[in-house]
């Protein structure tokens, strides 16, 4: 009996290996394993250069740099188009557009007969925004992404993202118009050049014809002169014979 009692705890302390319950993998460990598998696949098919660990950070930095360069190019383009307009100094996508004059100047540059820019005043913000947005929609086919009331409410520092979104759309529309005008001017210059060449060619042909006609007339005159001389000689001969 004592031997059986001593054997029982040994059985409890050493259960068979098949009855051991293994811990289930967590969702976090599954995601980490999947991530490692994906990285391993990239490394397997990638060149010898190792993949940087901060790939996401580098990508976001590159995207931010690209976005910044686009904004700077757009600001530079707007400055070049509104350089000679009084009261306009475009340096950013917020305060530089707060009184509406920058919008009006940009549209007036492409449509100078649409309104009188010199009559606008910076303190009449509502009038400027209304004029600019209406002209942009009717003349440049630019969607009214900004509301006059919103720009008035935001005051001297409107939201840069809102302004940038609208200016980007406006610049695309105006750039398209500018390109169409330049292409049209090239076509007209080409047609004018062709007409001039045709006229010049026609003038050369007419000059050649005149020269040929003059030469023909000269030959005819010389022939008539020779005939006249022959007649005179014959008359002299006849008179001499009779005498």
Full DSSP string of 22-68: PPPPPHHHHHHHHHHHHHHHHHHHS-SSPPPTTHHHHHHHHHHHHHH
Return the structure tokens found at 134.
Answer: 């209406």
Instruction: Report pLDDT digits (tens) over 157-187.
Output: 999 999 999 999 999 999 999 999 999 999 9
Instruction: Report pLDDT digits (tens) over 7-62.
Output: 555 555 555 554 555 666 665 666 566 555 555 544 454 444 444 444 343 445 55
- On whether the CB atoms of residues 140 and 109 are closer than 8 A, the answer is no
Q: How many CB atoms lie within 10 A of CB 130?
A: 14
Instruction: Report pLDDT digits (tens) over 11-24.
Output: 555 555 545 556 66
pTM reported for the whole predicted model = 0.55
* Domains of the chain in sequence order: 63-182 (1.10.418.10)
Sole residue written with tokens 């303190």: 123
């Amino acid at each position: 009996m004592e031997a059986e009692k001593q054997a029982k705890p040994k059985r409890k302390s050493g259960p068979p290996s098949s009855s051991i319950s293994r811990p289930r993998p967590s969702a976090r460990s599954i995601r980490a394993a999947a991530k490692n598998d994906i990285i391993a696949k990239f490394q397997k098919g990638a060149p010898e250069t190792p993949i940087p660990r901060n790939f996401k950070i580098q990508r976001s930095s590159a995207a931010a740099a690209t976005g910044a360069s686009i904004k700077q190019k757009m600001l530079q383009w707007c400055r070049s188009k509104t350089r000679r307009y009084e009261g306009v100094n475009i340096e950013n996508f917020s305060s530089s557009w707060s009184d509406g004059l920058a919008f009006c100047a940009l549209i007036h540059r492409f449509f100078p007969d649409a309104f009188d820019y010199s009559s606008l005043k910076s303190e009449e913000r509502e009038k400027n925004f209304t004029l600019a947005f209406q002209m942009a929609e009717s003349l440049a086919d630019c969607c009214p992404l900004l509301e006059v009331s919103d720009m008035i409410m935001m005051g001297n520092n409107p939201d840069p993202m809102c302004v940038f979104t609208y200016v980007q759309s406006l610049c695309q529309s105006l750039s398209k118009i500018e390109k169409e005008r330049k292409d049209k001017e090239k076509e007209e210059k080409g047609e004018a050049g062709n007409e001039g060449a045709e006229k010049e060619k026609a003038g050369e042909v007419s000059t050649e014809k005149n020269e040929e006609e003059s030469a023909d007339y000269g030959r005819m005159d010389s022939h008539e002169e020779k005939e006249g001389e022959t007649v005179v000689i014959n008359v002299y001969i006849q008179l001499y014979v009779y005498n």
